[in-house]
Amino acid sequence: MQGNKRPETMERITNEALAQAFIEEQVAELREQIGDKKVLLALSGGVDSSVTAALLIKAVGKQLVCVHVNHGLLRKGEPEQVIKVFREELGANLIYVDAVDRFLDKLAGVSDPETKRKIIGKEFIDVFAEEAAKLEGIKFLGQGTIYPDILESEQGVKAHHNVGGLPPELDFELVEPVKLLYKDEVRVVGKALGLPDSMVFRQPFPGPGLGVRCVGAITRDRLEALREADAIVREEIGKLPETPWQYFCAIPDIKSTGIKYTDGKGERYMGWAVIIRAVNTVDAVTATVPEIPFATLCTMRDKIVKIPGVNRVLWDISEKPVATIEWE
């Protein structure tokens, strides 16, 4: 089994042929390691867990049990895409958990960002552990750990645990088939495994998801408005010849005055403001703000103001520092 150090002789996976060779080698190793036992994997739909899942499916098929937890803070279409790609196209053994009410009930009235993060993280582990406890004969836990995670953990920058803090009775052996790969290599392998571009080239998305972009205490109506606006921004900015590193929306819990016309008669009302955020960065430690063509901004504005409850669109041009990338 591979250690945690990338051998200096390991060639960078930059093309389909090298990816296929890596896949073949990994599939053989995974079969050897796993034998006839079962593997459990938390499948978020992010590139790392998706590539890990696709590799494991190729190696051990239905012996892999994927659990996709919908916490209600995913982007528009994400749970549907995970189901379509993994259950329908790859024939995965996929458990879909609709935990939307559970998460949103726990988050109701909570406005402190770090408390929100803790609630989301803890609830995720609880849901995952509950699902795991219902299953029998699981010996391994698949994780989409990648090489930068290992390097950062070693350097003490961050403790990386994709499904950290699992209760001790769920003490599985880890299976981490992409742990020696850099992000760009994971993407090349994902392409070679036939995953769709929208999954393989997905922009980074925080674990707490839209939860830290629905600023303050999350309400369902404001969260839905954010999800719609986010889909518009991803689509429109995604059409640009060069897309920023990360682009998304935030929605603060303030309202401002707008005007609504019915039968030629204007009426004042209070509506939300959607904030468009696009940044470029190498390591997310500092970030700059790329130019967005004014025509694209106007297209997004015209679509976003049609979302119920929204009457204003803002563009955040703050760099990191002084601001952080996310609003919370």
Binding-site string for ligand XMP from residue 73 to residue 92, where x marks contact by CB under 6 A and - marks none: --------------------
Contact region with ligand XMP (CB under 6 A), list: 55-63, 178-186, 199-207, 260-268: 199-207
- Under the criterion CB under 6 A, does residue 164 sit at the interface with ligand XMP? no
- Under the criterion CB under 6 A, does residue 160 sit at the interface with ligand XMP? no
- What tokens appear for 113 in the block? 């960002």
Which of the residues 280 through 299 are near ligand XMP (CB under 6 A)?
284
Total residues binding ligand XMP (CB under 6 A): 12
d(CA 124, CA 321): 30
d(CA 53, CA 195): 11
34 vs 249, beta carbon nearer ligand XMP: 249
- What tokens appear for 36 in the block? 């006839």
Binding-site string for ligand XMP from residue 39 to residue 68, where x marks contact by CB under 6 A and - marks none: ------------------------------
Nearest 5°: CA angle at 124, between 121 and 129?
Answer: 125
Minimum Å distance from CB 131 to ligand XMP? 21
Interface residue with ligand XMP among 117, 139, 160, 303 (CB under 6 A) is 117
């995952």: which residue's tokens? 128
Do residues 129 and 138 lie in contact, with contact meaning Cβ atoms separated by under 8 Å? no
What is the number of other CB atoms lying within 10 angstroms of the CB of residue 165? 11
Interface residue with ligand XMP among 208, 226, 249, 301 (CB under 6 A) is 208
The set of residues, in sequence order, having a beta carbon less than 8 Å from that of 290 and lying 6+ positions away, is 242, 244, 278, 279, 280
**Nearest residue to 280 via CA among 320, 240, 315:** 320
Residues that bind ligand XMP (CB under 6 A): 117, 204, 206-208, 212, 246, 284, 320, 324-326
